[in-house]
Structure formats: structure tokens, C-alpha cells
A and B are shown apart, each in its own frame.
Chain A
């Protein structure tokens, strides 16, 4: 068995709309324990756990937390629930199936860092998540897990929902912060970083839903114990959104260090209709596309360096042999062309040109020059853009140039004969 159930342990066992169900299932128990600890103790446990952010960038959580804890004055916690990366749905499940676990994680972060207000930023498309979280926040207020002097302590904390309105870019932390402020989601120049100047230019700690959900777990079993789960490079469990042409699509919680093949074969039940695996895209539209031969790789960020990318938020999209590489790349590029915010020039003007070039491959009218332009442009976008969108949007192209070079060359050869196709 390669599953380890912790973040998903209450899924389908409690009524997500009932705080009492949550409380009966050990809910807010860790938070109560945390209320007896001091900031250093809590952050120290988190440091020992070696947990990294689950939103995609994989930055050590405790480093961000302790620099945020050192900031004084008004400061904010933001839960990034703008899950928009194609192929990912873990945050939706976390919010819809165990909403108070999210709130508990936020509370632990707020208490340990001295923040007094928080926002959960949920993408507008997630209507159900919004309704459930809204209800849960109300219940938490009613039961004094939110509000003034929580559970009789000196700790007070306000939590508010903010809805997105259809913009993938708002998953980027500064774009999200701008959106919370009621502005278009266009990122800001760093430095300063959000922990220094975030929402309303106040220090802001921003984490992914799954990251927050890990905190009750860490503090329940202790950082040391937690660090034993996973691999030498990444600790804890990871929620994997497994989709595409597999028999058992779904959300799986696995310890880091499992191989991609294990997830696809054992949990996913292999490819549908007895077909072969053609390609696998990791992380989502912003992730690498790899051939079957690389599937024995562990799921952790360190190993993914060879793709010049990361595991991302944990999507595994399996494509059977019948799909054409360039059709998939076209879908990816249409996505980014639609979602680029328009702020920085290589991203704004680059994606439309990448899309044009990929269309030539799809239509069998690509030349060697088109290939060279594509490769050069993809590298420039990857290297020079302002935020994570453009820095990662080219991963599917750059990785396939590396692992599917022959398909590019063949398409160029075929184009010679199919001109006018």
C-alpha cells in the first residue's frame, strides 16, 4: 500500500457542514494544544518537519513563517485557494470535504505568527467550496474558534472569504494579493516579498490550502515524526490529482518518494482500455511532459530539477498513446495565452507567438526555422518573465524538446510533404 491517510482522513466520514462532526473527529484538538505553546515552539516544530509549500513552488514553510513572525504591527494570513492549474483539484476536495481542517491550519499559523486577520481567497468558479467554507467560517465564529479571545485565550483572529472572478494568474501570490485589494490580478515587482509588504502593504503570510492542512498534522505528531514520512528530499504526504486516461482517476494521498509509475499503476489502475502510456504531464499545464520511460522517478521537487521544473501542486495527467503531442501542447498554450495577465512584455507578446508556432506543428506546416524560433522563444519566456506564470508556462515545450525531440523532427519532415494540408 502506498497511501498514507492523514489530510484526507475525515473525507466522506464527516458531514463537512457540521463543526460537531469535525470536533468529534479530533477537530481543533491540535489547535487547542497549540494555544498552550509559544510562537518559537510551534515554528520550531514546523522547521523540524522540513515541510515545503504545497502550492507548487516548494519553498520551506518554516523560513517564511519565522520571517513573517518577526514582522510587527498589523499583518495578514492568506490562504491561497485559487486552484486553477489544469489537472488539480486537491484544494477543492480539502475545502469541500474537510473545511475546518483548513481553518485549523490557518489558526495555527496565525497564532504562532501573531497575525490578527486572514483571508481565504477561493477562485470564483468553485461555487460549492465557497458555500462550504463560508458556512464553516460562520460555525467557527459561533463556536468561538474565530473572533475575539478565541476559546478564552488572548488570541483573536478574523477570517474572511474573498472570491476570485476568473483569473488563473491570481494563484500567483502577488496577483492574488492585488485581487484581494480589489484590483486586477497583476503581480508586483519583488522585493519586497509578501512577508514584508503584502495585502494593503502589510506583512502577509500566504500559503496553499494543502500547506495549511499539514500544520495540524505536524503539530499532532511532532516535527521530528513528520520528517520521517516521505523521502530524503521531501517530507510528509502529497495529495496527487490523478487524471487523464487511467482507470481510477481521483485524489490520492501518498508519502513523498513514491514513484509516478506506482501512482499510475497501483492507485490509478493503469491506463484505460489496455492502451499504452503515451505521455504524462506532471503538475498541470505548467509542468513537464515526460515519456513512459521516466515514470520510475520519485515524486519530489528535488528530482524534478532535470525538467527544470517542480512537482507543482501534484497533478499527474496520463495520456494514452493515441494522443498527439502537438494537440496537447496546443491546449496548454491556448490556456496560457488566455491566462497571461498582460503586464510583462515577453509573457504578453510571447504566448501568442508560441501559440502560432505550435499551430504550425499541429497543421503539419512547421519548418526547421519554426522549430528554432519556438525553442528560442520558449527559453526567453522561461528566463525573463516577471512571475511564475511565464517562468513555468514553457515547461511542457522545453521538456518535450528534450524528451520528444524525434516527434518534433518527424513533424518537420512530414510538413515538407504535407504542405497545404
Chain B
């Protein structure tokens, strides 16, 4: 422990932390801008500067370790003036049309300027206008708003090992962009959207589809239905200003209904269906000596990575469509037939924690009869929040409503899809019971839960001891994939999710998704599971009925036709 003084307050902290962390422990607020808890300390913005007695110049609190006897001041006139000057400088090279920016009121630069009391900018605006890249279905990159804090580079490079975004050029001309200034669509970008999630300003944002949805909602030619992904119910609260990790089910459904959707359905339902199909695929591959390990296919960011960089891994990936796409298919086939509706008039909207899902919905492989897309449009959790705000919906003022049927009943297993390890746990609950023909003693596979990068477990399936692994974030995915390609992978089943923490940490989730926040959303996810009547996918009565009425059995030719897909290598 070391003793120091911050603003004349005696502070005692461990010796392995920074001044910023020490100040936070004592509720002393030091403003920051480029700092992001789980990423590198780049110390680039210099906003968190403090004065330390006996030190030359100002020092950044984020990067300076505490030392015994330090005497630190955090808000002298000199410091305040420095912070204001730096903020003015940043604003002088920034497209500060705040009121027409999607980040208005959620922008970290804007709130910094407000808190510092910037009411004039002494410096000439030197912004040189650059082209906006909106050439892909998922993300929009607006370099005019970029403040070059480097967070996007860090997630793209270190967390995701993608290296799409880099700093190009030098000095004032430096820009953050892909190689050769290419569009993201011309890059090996997975559209995971982690860059958009950590961007402090509006320089990388999801492609906003809310206007299209509003139009469809008021277009009487369409029957507009919506599905809500598992991870959204534990994060939407944050988006609308409620507490982190809040579980909203009934209120979420109720609020979405108020937006005007004809039906509000649950992607958890098709997650259960995925388990039936993928689980059966696993059992078949094990029984018939098929290609193992079987790799999950729910995550479109991961599928993009595999198609772009690892063509030899494609036979390992489950042929199952993702839950989002299975839902869309059923809506436009099973539901349409049942309700005697023209599938072309059914408009399927998804609410996803994910920006890559926007891309997935546009894939040519994922269409009914090669024409009509399974899913018409995808909104992120953040866009749903925007629609709530546009409509003026207040969660405190609305009742709780249940999801509509037939796609409204789900299990705890499906709810787990939102968290890393969840698909694995859900699959094991079902595969074990089907193969071993006896109930599991403990359905909680705690060894695959949590934020550890790569997790594994072992389970007895029939006569075999089967090893299973789980990874989240693409840098971890690469480790497991490269083992598979090298032929050294000891696993039979691997769950891969592109985003840290799984879908609850997706690129379309509310801003401020730090690992601390991820853990809270994960905790809520397990609470949702624990509170469910059914906790195993194969026990879902609606699923049973679907097979009985329509699909016959898992992996039937009907199921294959509707619920499975193919992958092919991609080049830039």
C-alpha cells in the first residue's frame, strides 16, 4: 500500500494502480476522453492531466502510477485551462454539427466540452472534409467526426485481431482508416461493430434503419413482425437510462407493441430450434464419424471471419442458420401458410445486439426461394432505444405484456444464447439427454460461463468423453480455429462468438459496454435462465409442436431445406 494526497485528501491505495484509479476509489472525478477501461492506456488525449508536486509539466492520471508521498492536484486553474484548450483544439478539427449527429447527448466529447464549460473556441476550424463510408449494410464511418483517440484501432487489432482499422499518415493529416483508404465493404471486416461500440463520438456508427422500419409500420401493405434477440432484454434498460443489467421482458414487449408491430416474437424460440438442429447435427457427426469438431454458426461476425480468412474451416461449421434467420424463414413459410398470408407481405424486423446481423440479413444464401430475404431489416439495441425515444415511451408508465405466439414460448437454454458459453450450455443440456436418454444431474455448466477468453469442459455422451470449448472475441477464436486447422484440436464442439462476452457485449449494444458492464449483463442472463419454467430446448412445447406439425423431426429434409445453409470462401 502507498499513501498519497489527492486534492489534500489522504489516499491509501495499492501500489500497482494509476492516479486515475486511485482517484476513482476515493470518488474524485478526473475527466478522461481516450481512456477506456479494458483497452490500452494510450494516453493520447491528455485530458486527464494533473499536477504532481515536484514533477515537471502536467502528467496524465490514466498512465502515471501512484507513488508513496505523491501530492496531486486535479483541478488547478492551469489544469482546467489545459483541458479546455485541448478540447478546443479537438473541436477545431471535428465536424461539430452536434444536433444532427446520432451521438447527440451520448457523445463523450460533447459532454466533456459541456462539463469543462467550453463556450467559445479560440481556434480556427481546420477540418478538411472527407468522404463518408456507408457502403456496407452494417456500419457507417464518418472520418469528419473522428478524434483519433485510437480506441477503434485497439479493439480491431488487439481484441479482434482483425487489423482493419489503422492510423494512416502522420501528424495533422493522420487518419484512422483501412488499408489504401478502402471501404469497409472491401476489407476483411467482420462488421462485429466493436469499433462502433467504443467510439466516443459519432465517427463509426451502425447504419441507422429506424426510418425504414417506421415507414413499414405505417404501410398497410405489410404485416410487420419483430423478433427480439436474447441479449437485448438484459441491455435495453441501459439504453433508455435505467440500471445496468436490468431484465426487461414484459415491459420490453409492451413498449415494442406500442411502436405498432403486428406481432412481437422472441428469437429465444428459434434459439431453442437451433439447439434441436445443431444438437442433432452434432450427434449425427459423432455417430457417423463426420467432420469434428463442430463449430457453432449463430454468430455472423465469426462466419464472416471464417469465410474471409479460414476457408478450410468451413466444413466444420454447423450448417444451421442462425436463430435470427431461422425465425425469418419460419415467419415467411410456416407462419405464412398457417395464417394464409403472402410471404412477400410479411416484413420481418429483428432487434439484435449486433451490427453484423445487419449484414447477415442481406446474405444471398439466406432468402426464401432465392428472392425474399428471411429477415428484412435489423435494428440494434441502440436503434430500438432511439425508436422508444422518438415515440416518447417511458418504461415506468407501461404494463408488462407477454410475447405473442406461436413464437413466444422459449426456455432458459435459449436465454443463455446471449452470454458467452450459453450456446454450449444449451446444447449440452439437450444433447446429453437425447444421447444418454436420461436427465442431467446438474444442468448448470458453470465452467463455460464467465469472461475467461477460452473456456472448456468435458462431458460423457454415450460411451464417449467429449471435450467442448468456448471462445469469445475473435483473437481468441483464431487460437481455437488455428488448432483445428493444424489438426491438434482436442475438441468435438466449439462455440465461437465474435464479441467479448458474447452477444451481451455485441457491437450494437448500448454505449459504455465495458467488461464490468458485460459481467452484469451476464449475471442477469443466468437469472433469466434460472427463472424459466422450461430450461432445456427439447422441452419447449412450441418447438415440439412445430416439429409435429411442420418440420417432422430435427435435420429432416424439410428442416434442412428451411433451416440450414451453406458457406463459401470470400475474397476482398
B80 to chain A, nearest CB (A): 11
Interfacial residues of chain A within 27-80, with CB under 8 A of chain B in the complex: none
Report A-chain residues with C-beta under 8 Å of the C-beta of B92: 349, 353
Closest 5 CB pairs of A and B: A342-B174, A349-B89, A380-B85, A340-B171, A384-B46
Q: Which of B41, B44, B58, B82 contacts A344 (CB 8 A)?
A: B44
The residue of chain B having its C-beta at the shortest distance from the C-beta of A384 within the complex is B46
* A346–B171 touching, CB < 8 Å: no
Report B-chain residues with C-beta under 8 Å of the C-beta of A382: 57
Cα distance, A377 to B92, chains bound together (Å): 13
Cα distance, A348 to B44, chains bound together (Å): 10
Report A-chain residues with C-beta under 8 Å of the C-beta of B170: 167, 184, 340-342
* B43–A386 touching, CB < 8 Å: yes
Cα distance, A237 to B34, chains bound together (Å): 44
State the majority secondary structure of interface residues on A: helix
Cα distance, A348 to B123, chains bound together (Å): 14
A383 within 8 A of B: yes
* B81–A349 touching, CB < 8 Å: no
Q: A342-B167, A348-B171, A349-B89 are in contact. Are A373 and B46 (CB under 8 A)?
A: no
B78 within 8 A of A: yes
A342 to chain B, nearest CB (A): 3
Q: Which of B81, B124, B147 contacts A380 (CB 8 A)?
A: B81
* A373–B122 touching, CB < 8 Å: yes
B438 within 8 A of A: no
B201 to chain A, nearest CB (A): 13
Report A-chain residues with C-beta under 8 Å of the C-beta of B569: none
Known: A348-B172, A349-B89. 15 other contacts (CB 8 A): A167-B170, A186-B167, A343-B44, A344-B44, A344-B45, A345-B89, A346-B82, A346-B89, A351-B171, A353-B92, A356-B123, A383-B78, A383-B82, A386-B44, A391-B57
B126 within 8 A of A: yes
Q: A184-B167, A189-B41, A345-B45 are in contact. Are A383 and B172 (CB under 8 A)?
A: no
Cα distance, A374 to B289, chains bound together (Å): 75
A182 within 8 A of B: no
* A376–B148 touching, CB < 8 Å: no
Report B-chain residues with C-beta under 8 Å of the C-beta of A150: none
* A191–B65 touching, CB < 8 Å: yes
Q: A348-B172, A386-B46 are in contact. Are A380 and B82 (CB under 8 A)?
A: yes
Report A-chain residues with C-beta under 8 Å of the C-beta of B124: 353, 356
The residue of chain B having its C-beta at the shortest distance from the C-beta of A343 within the complex is B44
A168 to chain B, nearest CB (A): 10
* A384–B58 touching, CB < 8 Å: yes
Interfacial residues of chain B within 19-55, with CB under 8 A of chain A in the complex: 34, 41-46, 49
B109 to chain A, nearest CB (A): 11
Q: A339-B171, A341-B171, A384-B58 are in contact. Are A350 and B89 (CB under 8 A)?
A: yes
A9 within 8 A of B: no
Report B-chain residues with C-beta under 8 Å of the C-beta of A338: 171
Report A-chain residues with C-beta under 8 Å of the C-beta of B401: none
B22 to chain A, nearest CB (A): 16
A196 within 8 A of B: no
Q: Which residues of B contact A (CB under 8 A)?
A: 34, 41-46, 49, 57-58, 60, 63, 65, 78, 81-82, 85-86, 89-90, 92-93, 122-124, 126, 147-148, 167, 169-174
Report B-chain residues with C-beta under 8 Å of the C-beta of A385: 46
Cα distance, A337 to B171, chains bound together (Å): 7
Q: A345-B45, A382-B57 are in contact. Are A376 and B85 (CB under 8 A)?
A: yes
Question: Chain A 181-219 against B: per-residue CB contact (8 Å), 1 yes, 0 no?
Answer: 000101001110000000000000000000000000000
Supply 21 A–B pairs (Cβ within 8 Å), ascending by A: A184-B167, A189-B63, A190-B63, A340-B170, A342-B174, A345-B44, A345-B86, A345-B89, A345-B90, A345-B148, A346-B46, A350-B89, A351-B172, A352-B93, A356-B124, A377-B123, A380-B82, A380-B85, A383-B49, A384-B58, A385-B46
Cα distance, A376 to B77, chains bound together (Å): 12
Q: Which of B49, B123, B171, B173 contacts A384 (CB 8 A)?
A: B49
Report A-chain residues with C-beta under 8 Å of the C-beta of B63: 189-190
Q: A383-B78, A386-B43 are in contact. Are A342 and B171 (CB under 8 A)?
A: yes
* A383–B86 touching, CB < 8 Å: no
* A337–B172 touching, CB < 8 Å: yes
Cα distance, A365 to B170, chains bound together (Å): 30
Cα distance, A82 to B29, chains bound together (Å): 41
Report B-chain residues with C-beta under 8 Å of the C-beta of A341: 170-171, 174
B70 to chain A, nearest CB (A): 14
* A349–B172 touching, CB < 8 Å: yes
Report A-chain residues with C-beta under 8 Å of the C-beta of B78: 383
Cα distance, A355 to B44, chains bound together (Å): 21
B94 to chain A, nearest CB (A): 9
* B46–A376 touching, CB < 8 Å: no
Cα distance, A167 to B93, chains bound together (Å): 23
Report A-chain residues with C-beta under 8 Å of the C-beta of B34: 345
The residue of chain B having its C-beta at the shortest distance from the C-beta of A356 within the complex is B124
The residue of chain A having its C-beta at the shortest distance from the C-beta of B59 within the complex is A384
* B41–A349 touching, CB < 8 Å: no
B371 to chain A, nearest CB (A): 48
* A353–B126 touching, CB < 8 Å: yes
* B174–A349 touching, CB < 8 Å: no
* B49–A352 touching, CB < 8 Å: no
Report B-chain residues with C-beta under 8 Å of the C-beta of A376: 81, 85
* A342–B85 touching, CB < 8 Å: no
Q: A353-B126, A376-B81 are in contact. Are A344 and B171 (CB under 8 A)?
A: no
Report A-chain residues with C-beta under 8 Å of the C-beta of B81: 376, 380
The residue of chain B having its C-beta at the shortest distance from the C-beta of A338 within the complex is B171
* A373–B169 touching, CB < 8 Å: no
Report B-chain residues with C-beta under 8 Å of the C-beta of A184: 167, 170
B69 to chain A, nearest CB (A): 17
Report B-chain residues with C-beta under 8 Å of the C-beta of A377: 85, 89, 123
Specify which of A167, A340, A349 lies most central, judged by the most chain B CB atoms within 10 Å of its CB: A349
B96 to chain A, nearest CB (A): 13
The residue of chain A having its C-beta at the shortest distance from the C-beta of B147 within the complex is A345
* A383–B58 touching, CB < 8 Å: yes
Report B-chain residues with C-beta under 8 Å of the C-beta of A386: 43-44, 46, 60
* B126–A352 touching, CB < 8 Å: yes
Report B-chain residues with C-beta under 8 Å of the C-beta of A189: 41-43, 63
Interfacial residues of chain A within 383-403, with CB under 8 A of chain B in the complex: 383-386, 391
The residue of chain B having its C-beta at the shortest distance from the C-beta of A345 within the complex is B45
Cα distance, A391 to B59, chains bound together (Å): 12
Report B-chain residues with C-beta under 8 Å of the C-beta of A337: 171-172
Cα distance, A107 to B81, chains bound together (Å): 48
The residue of chain A having its C-beta at the shortest distance from the C-beta of B124 within the complex is A356
B42 to chain A, nearest CB (A): 7
Report A-chain residues with C-beta under 8 Å of the C-beta of B42: 189, 343
A301 to chain B, nearest CB (A): 13
Report A-chain residues with C-beta under 8 Å of the C-beta of B174: 341-342, 348
